[in-house]
Amino acid sequence: MAKASERKGIRTEEYDCCRRTREQVRETIRLNYRSFPVIQNIVCRTCSMVLNIRVYTREELEQA
Ligand SMILES: [Zn+2]
């Protein structure tokens, strides 16, 4: 039985699968987007966690 804090979508810590998804999205943004900020909600393919991606400047992507 999952505790409330572990229910899908509301936990706050990031799993490895989510971190990888976030990095892929950031790479996609880096390659394809020309205007900033970019703010998207992406669903992790592994655990279905909704990830809020916020990139305010291109420099933010380059420095990762
Ligand atoms: Zn995940």
Q: Give per-residue pLDDT as tens, 24-40.
A: 999 999 999 999 999 99
pLDDT of residue 64: 58
Q: Does a structural domain hold residue 3?
A: no
Burial 7-29 (b: 16+ CB within 10 A, else e): eeeebeeeeeebeebbeebbeeb
- If pLDDT is split at 50, 70 and 90, which confidence band does 52 have? very high
Distance between Cα 15 and ligand 1 center (Å): 6
Tell me how far the alpha carbon of residue 47 lies from the centroid of ligand 1, in angstroms.
Answer: 4
Residue 57 lies in a domain: yes
- Please indicate, yes or no, if residue 1 is contained in any of the structural domains: no
User: With 70 as the cut, is the pLDDT of residue 4 above it?
Assistant: no
Whether 8 maps to a domain, the answer reads no
Residue 63: per-residue pLDDT: 77
pLDDT at res. 13: 76
> Of the candidates 40, 58, 46, 36, which has an alpha carbon nearest to the alpha carbon of residue 14?
46
Structure tokens at 30: 């880096």
Query: Which domain range does residue 41 map to?
Result: 13-62
Q: For the whole model, what pTM was predicted?
A: 0.74
Question: Average per-residue pLDDT in the chain?
Answer: 86
Please tell me the total count of domains within the chain: 1
Q: 39 CA distance to ligand 1 centroid (A)?
A: 18
Q: Classify residue 21: in a domain, yes or no.
A: yes
